[in-house]
Amino acid sequence: MGTERSVSAFAAQLGGRPTTVVRSPGRVNLIGDHTDYNDGFVLPLAIDLVVKLAFRRRDDDMVRLWSEQTNDWAEFSLDSLAREGGWGAYIQGVASEMVPLGLARSGWEGVLVSDIPSGAGLSSSAALELSAARAFALVSEVEWDAVEMALLCQRAENNWVGVNCGIMDQLICATGEDDRALLIDCRDLTRRAVPIPHEATVVVLDTGTERRLVDSGYNERRHSCESAAHVFEVGALRDLSIETLESGKDRLDPVTYRRARHVVTENERTLLMTECLDQGDLVAAGELMRQSHISLRDDFEVSSDALNSMAESALPAPGCYGARMTGGGFGGSCVALVDTNWVDEFRTDVLERYQAASGLRGTAIPIRATNGTSFEGLG
């Protein structure tokens, strides 16, 4: 998406020109779901579906922001933040973390345009949070530390919005790299760039069914994982081997055992997938994605009929190496790894199969990995 759309929306809503346009990407996770809050491994990429926030500084402490997607305003004063629903909560949440640290010292006004479909599980909320954080940092002339800002935005979501999410979405949105996925160790937040081989294209498969983290069993899953770690007296499920889990299986109730088994095996799959991509072994990489979906479906139970239909429709489609649900689950999107030469045929075929199986219309979007939150000064 070009800058012009945000600049002309700015002129229409606020008059005049913005001084700056922040660009903040959505994300898709290749493998490693529900592992981040277990101190484990994830392999996401920042995608070329982005939000653009065009803004200019104000001389007071008001923040006024219009969203093209919802055609409405969020407006608040930095010295009287109040909890409200809707997308404005993400902006106020970020402000609530930045103000006490002296990182949001001035108001601003702007417009938000986005081509990240909301509710598709592509982290439009992390993109929104990071774009607001970047705007605050710019008007306040504070240095941008991408990892610190990702952590701050995660706290905003935990404390203000009330979703107990892990660090994956904010961190990849802040630190993504062109043409690369990042293997993130969610314990120490170290990242290793993993190039996506040219022969493969990542395709996002939006089921057209919305996901809602707050309403979903996300916090409940997280709680099960913590109680399993507690029973085995480890800091987090990251520290549990499959052997220890299997031999101590009776110490957990059957549901908690399956939750833990997903996390332990998913961590292994994520590390293996990294090796497969390094070696260009796309067939083995695809098989790991297939197994990941089954584990999320049967052990972690965060898939949905639509996600299952989409993943199953993708596997037999031309050029498909592998496919799985991606992100938190309970609706949203799948991700597929597809032979670059077959992307067009793949898209047509998977969507036809999906519609025949589910009666729903999906969307298949080939995507490119991009860099994290950035900005452009308009002078």
Task: Determine the size of the site formed for ligand GLA (CB under 6 A).
Answer: 10
Residue 306 beta carbon to ligand GLA: minimum distance, rounded to whole angstroms: 17
Residue 81 beta carbon to ligand GLA: minimum distance, rounded to whole angstroms: 22
The whole-angstrom separation of Cα 127 and Cα 185 is: 21
**Applying CB under 6 A, which of residues 91, 165, 264, 364 lies at the interface with ligand GLA?**
165
> Does the annotation mark 169 as catalytic?
yes
The whole-angstrom separation of Cα 262 and Cα 268 is: 10
Residue 298 beta carbon to ligand GLA: minimum distance, rounded to whole angstroms: 17
Q: For residue 112, give the nearest of 153, 74, 72, 68 by alpha carbon.
A: 68
Which span (2-10, 128-136, 165-173, 268-276) binds ligand GLA, by CB under 6 A?
165-173
Q: Which is nearer to ligand GLA, 36 or 177 (CB)?
A: 36
What stretches of the chain adopt beta strand conformation (E)?
20-29, 41-42, 44-57, 62-67, 72-77, 108-114, 180-185, 191-195, 200-206, 320-325, 333-339, 363-367, 374-377
Q: Which residues contact 107 (CB under 8 A, 6 or more apart)?
A: 57, 58, 59, 60, 61, 62, 63, 64, 77, 78, 139
**Applying CB under 6 A, which of residues 117, 327, 331, 362 lies at the interface with ligand GLA?**
327
Q: Which is nearer to ligand GLA, 37 or 354 (CB)?
A: 37
Q: Which is nearer to ligand GLA, 56 or 258 (CB)?
A: 258
Q: Which is nearer to ligand GLA, 114 or 170 (CB)?
A: 170
Q: How many CB atoms lie within 10 A of CB 326?
A: 30
Q: What string marks each residue from 19 to 58 as x (binds ligand GLA by CB under 6 A) or -?
A: --------------xx-xx---------------------
Q: Which is nearer to ligand GLA, 13 or 333 (CB)?
A: 333
Q: Count Cβ atoms within 10 A of the Cβ of residue 176 and give its class: 0-12 exposed, 13-18 middle, 19 or more buried.
A: buried
The separation between CA 263 and the C-alpha centre of its own chain, rounded to angstroms, equals 18
Residue 125 beta carbon to ligand GLA: minimum distance, rounded to whole angstroms: 8
Q: Which of 33, 169, 299, 349 is catalytic?
A: 169
Residue 181 beta carbon to ligand GLA: minimum distance, rounded to whole angstroms: 14
Q: For residue 38, give the nearest of 184, 246, 181 by alpha carbon.
A: 184
- Catalytically active residues, by annotation: 169
What is the contact surface with ligand GLA in residues (CB under 6 A)?
A: 33-34, 36-37, 165-166, 168-169, 327-328
